Amino acid sequence: MNDLWYKDAVFYELNVRAFYDSNGDGHGDLRGVIEKLDYLVDLGVDCIWLLPIYLSPLKDDGYDIADFYAVLSEYGGLNDLKLLISEAHRRGLRIIMDLVLNHTSDQHPWFQAARTSRNSPYRQYYVWSESTQKYSQTRIIFVDTQPSNWTWDEQAGQYFWHRFYACQPDLNYDSPAVQEEMLRVMRYWLDLGIDGFRADAVPYLFEREGTNCENLPETHAYLKRIRRFVNENYPGRILLCEANQWPEDVRPYFGDGDEFHMGFHFPVMPRIYMALERGQRQPLTWILERTPPIPEDCQWCIFLRNHDELTLEMVTEEERQWMWQVYAPEARMRLNLGIRRRLAPLLGNDRRKIELANSLLLTLPGSPIIYYGDEIGMGDDIWLPDRNGVRTPMQWQNTPNAGFSSAPPDRLYAPVIAREPYTPVRVNVADQVANPGSLWHTLRRMIALRKASRLFGWGSFTWADAGIDSVAAYWREEGPQRLLILNNLSESSHFVSLALPEVLGPEPIDLITNSKLTPASSSRLELELGPFEYRWIRFDG
């Protein structure tokens, strides 16, 4: 097996609850995912990221864990997970799952024990204080709902620390016992055959007075320890870092190749939307130019959307206001510092823009993650609270409950999208699979092209000058292979004229249309790009 598989893998983020309900109780489950594995193979993805499946009171949709060793019963049992892993592996798919290091649910037995007495051995598992003055330089993340990172616990007679909801007390990483506990948790799931973890909210593990309590050296030291643990015992398994930070602050999470294998590139994501709305490549050039190089064996993870709000933490205040104005004109589309909408509605359900965004997703440096449902252009439900509106049932067919479940509609964990043009009548897997002209087929072809060449995952990245700011043009190069990517970010057609390096052969191939291009000369490529058109042009030197 290739230990560096993640360098060119295509990832698929999947919410078990929302994917497929195999037993008709209205909730998706692990057996449901097993039934749909062939669909994922057909789409061409390599690795599934499962959102949290642990026992949980679901106050934060499973990111509030009450038992790190148990699967939520609605999803099935451990045997179902084992079966899912083996069925996935049999098909050449890998599976990673969420590892929530930073906090537990307040229902976790550790917290229940900790709050009963200062003498409990579990007291030190959490972070306590007599006052709310400690760590006052720390920002609040869930600004819409949390007035403070401290909450008073009556039973404990002290305040406890939490970076997210008050039902999610932070673990205390100064406690050696906590550090050991989490290694044990990792061992448990890795022994079951999981291919790695998407490590949740890692910047916040430690707290230190006088700092903003993010990205601290102590945090990096512990993360290096868990990487050593994985290297020594589970080579080939990966750690994917969720650090919603600027590139220079994410860079240390790769260390010298001794911390995370992968890290989400948060700041590039809103800039894809900015570039598309302004019809200008500058937001992308700006952020990629200030992205430092990472060690050879590491990889960025690029995404367009995920299960959270489209975060606007990594933009300026002015840019945030502008993004809200254009992409979230109604107040209920906003949440915290972000936008709680899905890809297709954000892009006005404009097929050209959706494809173009995917062209960027699949060709910028890094491995792409597709959020379930975005491959068919699913809509959202802004009338559901929190981030639930982007977590609705997967739309498999134009049948009751979108083919997601056989339960009565009022038993579903969330209603199927009921607003046009996103209802299952118009948006569903079966119809798109049957129609070669569908978004699903286009995306599938793009994934297949990507997988046919190493240069997407391994190749270098260089901006090219297409002579016009509306076109994001770049070279990806690996060995003798060269690929020129052209993305017209604007609604107008543009004539593009590009200098070609001498060494290139005379007959470039347009991968998207699978046709030969005939450049006017061996030193220039000139062509017309239609509104929002993208080209992937291969030159073999």
Interaction site with ligand BGC (CB under 6 A):
60, 63, 100, 164, 200-201, 242, 307-308
Given the residues 74, 207, 242, 533, the one annotated as active site = 242
DSSP H/E element including 13: strand 11-14
Q: Which of 313, 307, 343 is nearest to 327 (CA)?
A: 343
Question: Residue 251 or residue 307: which is nearer to ligand BGC going by CB?
Answer: 307
CA-closest candidate to residue 529, choices 476, 484, 471:
471
Strands (E), 205-298: 238-241, 262-264
Shortest distance (Å) from residue 273 CB to ligand BGC: 19
Q: Determine the Cα–Cα distance for residues 276 and 283; give it in Å rounded to an integer.
A: 10
Quote the strand ranges of 381-523, DSSP E.
Answer: 460-464, 471-478, 481-488, 494-499, 509-510, 515-516
Distances (CA, A) of 55 to 18, 51, 178, 191, 248: 17, 12, 19, 19, 36
Smallest distance from ligand BGC to CB 377, Å: 23
Whether 242 is catalytic: yes
Contact 357, 348 (CB under 8 A): no
Cβ 105 to ligand BGC shortest distance, Å: 10
User: Comparing C-alpha atoms, which of 96, 99, 369, 83 is closest to residue 237?
Assistant: 96
Q: Judge whether 398 and 431 are in contact, CB under 8 Å.
A: yes
Within a 10 A sphere around the Cβ of 431, how many other Cβ atoms? 17
| Rg of the chain taking only CA atoms, in angstroms | 23
Using the minimum distance from each CB to ligand BGC, give the nearer residue, 111 or 440. Answer: 111
Output 201 or 272, the one with its CB closest to ligand BGC.
201
Supply the minimum distance, in Å, between the C-beta of residue 242 and ligand BGC: 5
User: Would you say 96 or 288 has its CB closer to ligand BGC?
Assistant: 96
Instruction: Pick between residue 122 and residue 142 the one whose CB is nearest to ligand BGC.
Output: 142
The one catalytic residue in 29, 98, 195, 200 is 200
Q: What length is written for the chain? A: 541
In 304-444 the beta strands, taken as DSSP E runs, fall at 310-311, 334-335, 338-339, 367-371
- Per DSSP, the residues of 507-527 read --EETTTTEE---SSSSEEEE
| Local structure of 381: helix, strand or coil | coil
Q: Minimum Å distance from CB 334 to ligand BGC?
A: 16
Give catalytic status of residue 533 as yes or no.
no
CB 164, min distance to ligand BGC, A: 4
Separation of CA 107 from chain center: 27
Give the DSSP per-residue string, 130-161.
SSS-TTTTPPPSSTTT-S-SEEEETTTTEEEE
Residue least distant from ligand BGC (Cβ) = 63
Work out how close the CB of 409 gets to ligand BGC at its nearest, in angstroms, rounded to a whole number.
26
Q: Of the two residues 249 and 277, which places its CB atom closer to ligand BGC in the complex?
A: 249
CB of 253 to ligand BGC, least distance (A): 14
- Nearest CB to ligand BGC, comparing residues 195 and 242: 242
Concatenating the DSSP letter of every residue in 314-354 gives TS-HHHHHHHHHHH--SGGGEETTEE---HHHHTTT-HHHH
Distance CA 344, CA 338 (A): 17
Nearer to ligand BGC, 64 or 477 (CB): 64
Cite the active site residues.
200, 242
